[in-house]
Amino acid sequence: METSLPDSPTKTGSLWKGKAKDVTSAQDEFGDLNPIITYRHLLSQNLGVRDPLRVVALCDSDAFYAACEMVRLGVDKDTPLVVLQWDSIIAVNYPARKYGISRMDKKMDALKRCPHLKIVHVATYREGETEPGYWDEVDTNTHKVSLDYYRRESLKIAAMFREMLPGCEVEKASIDEAFIDFTKPVREIILQRYPHLAQPPPDAPFGVETALPPPPPIVWDGKGAVIPVNSPPSEDSSITDGQISSSSDEPGRAEPLDKDVVSTWHDVALSIGAELMTNARDAVHTTLGYSTSAGIARNKFLAKLTASYRKPNGQSILRNASIPNYLRPMPFQKIRFLGGKLGRAFAEEYDAATVGDLLSITLDEMQTKFGESSIWVYEILRGLDRSEVKDKGSTLNKSMLASKNLPKPITNVQEGYRWIRVLAAELALRLNDARNMSPNLWPKTLVLHARKGYESSRSKQAPFPYTREVTVDIIAAAGDKLWKELVGTSTQMNVTNVQLSFTGIDFAEAGQKTIEGFFKPTSKRQRDSAELTDFNTQAEVGQPESSAGDAKEDSATDIIVSHTCTRCKKTLSLNLELSRFKDSEEQKTAIAALIMEHDDWHFAQDLVREEIPIRPIQPSASTSHKKTPKTKKRRKDPVGIERFFDRK
């Protein structure tokens, strides 16, 4: 949450508005690079993205998939290694890069460059296996790539950052990247180290609105490469993937300091952020074995750009004063989202190639040409980015997708079942991984998509039961049903992509959460047996109800709760340890949970035995290739910069 800043002697307000006119100096072009920082700024807790002391880092793992394989195999750090997916290289470690090997090279070309190259094929699901593995022979016609190991390692790294950096916001940004907002702990450390700043001196002319005294000298040594203020990035620096990368092989080396550039309190904040980042990166390196590179700056966009300034195992710092010279020479089409049609349109419209070329375009001009929302481009070119670092770790991933492109298309019904089993194995593993963190996760729907070439896909979906144990068998059985429905009476087909996904993943109800506690533990054998005996082995208090299928609660003081299943005529009764149930509401919840569990047990059994048909939740949702119903609103034609992005 942000608090709004009342008018104050600071100039932070102008930073966020951007100025369209009279572009004359770096200060105007790039917003307020040296805002006055007052006692109030330092003592405020929640200035959010407007905080003039904001410190954000982006930490990216070096040659990530290759590093994962090196850790798994215990390979020496100097061994050149690549990760292969079929015949293509998808990750190259730094020792292998010295041989000129790069991603997307073919295996044979890489071996020619480095005959002792260690080549590891990414793990795959093999037909008939429930776990991915590293097999001697892999074939895209029979195997499916598994990135599960990298995903798990990636979660470990993020968890270590969270553990090492209390008070920081950590946002996992991709499989090998995390944004970290250091602002809170940095502020605390400033106040610890400089306790005299805890309140304005008695003679401060504006009270808390008084500017802080000049900062102490900053020792940058050992904190990373400080991007120079005065000289632009060296000639051999190039931008790759929206980031600057340098050919320097001296990672972590501090740049010669710009002696004439005065330090600011924001520089102090950056240097403290750098200390914290170093500790966390060291912990990841020593504990998990992964080397990382980090960029530290005033916002996410700049942190990301800065992260690849020194790689691998490097840490770079972008002071506010360095922003103009760092950004100006960058080819803007290398910036994320400016690479495609939009970037080309800007390049043509303004005959521009670098960020600097576009700085003379006023906001008005840009918005007239490209619409209101082009303010985003205007600001990004000036290194302004108001997006927050948000820990998404606690928010639920609503869906999970397993997908396979089929070089050899599925041409008959049987082949479909084989692939569904492979996809089911991946979904089972991923769901059970997620359940290790949140045991009551429930994917409410299973969806099957099949596509031929570039034609739009056909799909079927059905509700998925809540079961405590989600096995490959259960998912595959449900998937098979969908496949059968999808195929219908066709005997021949030509499916080139098949996808199985869980959607509507949610936490199961409270009743289900605690269900385990309501009856005695059941063995797997008992659960798997057709006879449902385990519910009733405790002394029964209730009698079977005549109205089958209704749960009933007796009004007697002895709590009597029972339920007769309409299908198997079993009586479900709670094992009544009276102390367990505080009130009748709790009893109701307990019996409801018991019934649901029992029904789901039937459902799962039926699926495996293929006794019940699975119906799509809504007939209209069952086939996505149908024409859009007339009632559906037509989407508005895109305007402004939206025209340059493809619709999903």
**Contact residues: Ca ion, CB under 5 A:** 60-61, 64, 176-177
Cα separation, 299 vs 385, whole angstroms: 6
87 by Cβ neighbours in 10 Å (0-12 / 13-18 / 19+) ranks as exposed
Choose between 87 and 550: whose C-beta lies nearer to ligand CTP.
87
- For 136, residues 6+ apart whose C-beta sits below 8 A from its C-beta are none
Contacts 24+ apart (CB under 8 A), 610-618: 610/477, 610/480, 610/481, 613/481, 614/462, 614/463, 614/478, 614/481, 614/482, 614/485, 615/462, 616/460, 616/461, 616/462, 616/485, 617/445, 617/461, 617/462, 617/463
Which residue among 5, 90, 159, 621 contacts ligand CTP (CB under 6 A)? 90
Helix (H, G, I), strand (E, B) or coil at 593: helix
State in angstroms the smallest separation of the CB of 181 from Ca ion: 19
Where does this chain touch ligand CTP (CB under 6 A) — which range of 63-71, 363-371, 584-592, 609-617? 63-71
Which one of ligand CTP, Ca ion, none interacts with residue 542, CB within 5 to 8 A by kind?
A: none
- For 520, residues 6+ apart whose C-beta sits below 8 A from its C-beta are 534, 537, 538, 575
449 by Cβ neighbours in 10 Å (0-12 / 13-18 / 19+) ranks as buried
Q: How many residues bind ligand CTP (CB under 6 A)?
A: 12
> Are 438 and 521 contacting, i.e. CB atoms less than 8 angstroms apart?
no
Tokens of 459: 């799909």
DSSP H helical segments within 401-452, as ranges? 413-437
For residue 372, what is the DSSP state?
Answer: G
Helix (H) or strand (E) holding 297: strand 292-297
What does the per-residue mask of binding to ligand CTP show for 293-322, with x meaning CB under 6 A? ------------------xx----------
Query: Which residues are registered as beta bridge partners of 172?
Result: 178
64 binds ligand CTP (CB under 6 A): yes
Which one of ligand CTP, Ca ion, none interacts with residue 90, CB within 5 to 8 A by kind?
A: ligand CTP
Beta-sheet pairing, 315-317 with 225-226? parallel
Query: Which residues are registered as beta bridge partners of 28?
Result: none
Which one of Ca ion, ligand CTP, none interacts with residue 370, CB within 5 to 8 A by kind?
A: none
Choose between 60 and 267: whose C-beta lies nearer to Ca ion.
60
Cα separation, 139 vs 403, whole angstroms: 16
Which one of Ca ion, ligand CTP, none interacts with residue 480, CB within 5 to 8 A by kind?
A: none
Q: How far apart are the first and last CA of the chain?
A: 31
State in angstroms the smallest separation of the CB of 60 from Ca ion: 4
Choose between 59 and 498: whose C-beta lies nearer to ligand CTP.
59
Tokens of 553: 């609660």
Is the dihedral angle over the CA atoms 483, 489, 491, 494 positive or is it negative? Answer: negative
61 binds ligand CTP (CB under 6 A): yes
Helix (H, G, I), strand (E, B) or coil at 428: helix
State in angstroms the smallest separation of the CB of 15 from Ca ion: 28
Choose between 38 and 61: whose C-beta lies nearer to ligand CTP.
61
Which one of Ca ion, ligand CTP, none interacts with residue 175, CB within 5 to 8 A by kind?
A: ligand CTP
Which one of ligand CTP, Ca ion, none interacts with residue 164, CB within 5 to 8 A by kind?
A: none
Choose between 72 and 615: whose C-beta lies nearer to ligand CTP.
72
For residue 59, what is the DSSP state?
Answer: E
Choose between 65 and 601: whose C-beta lies nearer to ligand CTP.
65
Which one of Ca ion, ligand CTP, none interacts with residue 568, CB within 5 to 8 A by kind?
A: none
What does the per-residue mask of binding to ligand CTP show for 100-139, with x meaning CB under 6 A? ----------------------------------------
Choose between 47 and 91: whose C-beta lies nearer to ligand CTP.
91
> Are 230 and 261 contacting, i.e. CB atoms less than 8 angstroms apart?
yes
Which residue among 33, 70, 91, 472 contacts ligand CTP (CB under 6 A)? 91
Backbone angles phi, psi at 191, to 5 degrees: -70, -30
* Closest of 91, 121, 118 to residue 104, by C-alpha: 91
Which one of ligand CTP, Ca ion, none interacts with residue 273, CB within 5 to 8 A by kind?
A: none
Cα separation, 273 vs 296, whole angstroms: 8
State in angstroms the smallest separation of the CB of 109 from Ca ion: 22
Q: Which amino acid is at 198?
A: A
State in angstroms the smallest separation of the CB of 465 from ligand CTP: 35
Cβ atoms within 10 A of the Cβ of 230, count?
12
Helix (H, G, I), strand (E, B) or coil at 501: strand
State in angstroms the smallest separation of the CB of 61 from ligand CTP: 6
Contacts of ligand CTP in 136-195 (CB under 6 A):
175-176
Which one of ligand CTP, Ca ion, none interacts with residue 33, CB within 5 to 8 A by kind?
A: none
Cα separation, 18 vs 361, whole angstroms: 12
- For 86, residues 6+ apart whose C-beta sits below 8 A from its C-beta are 138, 140
Which residue among 15, 49, 56, 63 contacts ligand CTP (CB under 6 A)? 63
Backbone angles phi, psi at 309, to 5 degrees: -65, -40
Identify each DSSP E strand in 414-525 by its residue range.
441-451, 458-463, 495-507
Choose between 92 and 276: whose C-beta lies nearer to ligand CTP.
92
Choose between 37 and 68: whose C-beta lies nearer to Ca ion.
68
Which one of ligand CTP, Ca ion, none interacts with residue 204, CB within 5 to 8 A by kind?
A: none
Where does this chain touch ligand CTP (CB under 6 A) — which range of 56-64, 178-186, 261-269, 282-290? 56-64
State in angstroms the smallest separation of the CB of 608 from ligand CTP: 36
State in angstroms the smallest separation of the CB of 171 from Ca ion: 14
For the chain, state the CA radius of gyration. Answer: 30
Choose between 250 and 351: whose C-beta lies nearer to ligand CTP.
250
Where does this chain touch ligand CTP (CB under 6 A) — which range of 58-66, 213-221, 267-275, 595-603? 58-66
Choose between 55 and 157: whose C-beta lies nearer to ligand CTP.
157
Cβ atoms within 10 A of the Cβ of 403, count?
15
Where does this chain touch ligand CTP (CB under 6 A) — which range of 55-63, 186-194, 546-554, 559-567? 55-63
Choose between 64 and 220: whose C-beta lies nearer to Ca ion.
64
Choose between 91 and 478: whose C-beta lies nearer to ligand CTP.
91
Report the interface residues with ligand CTP, using CB under 6 A. Answer: 60-65, 90-91, 175-176, 311-312
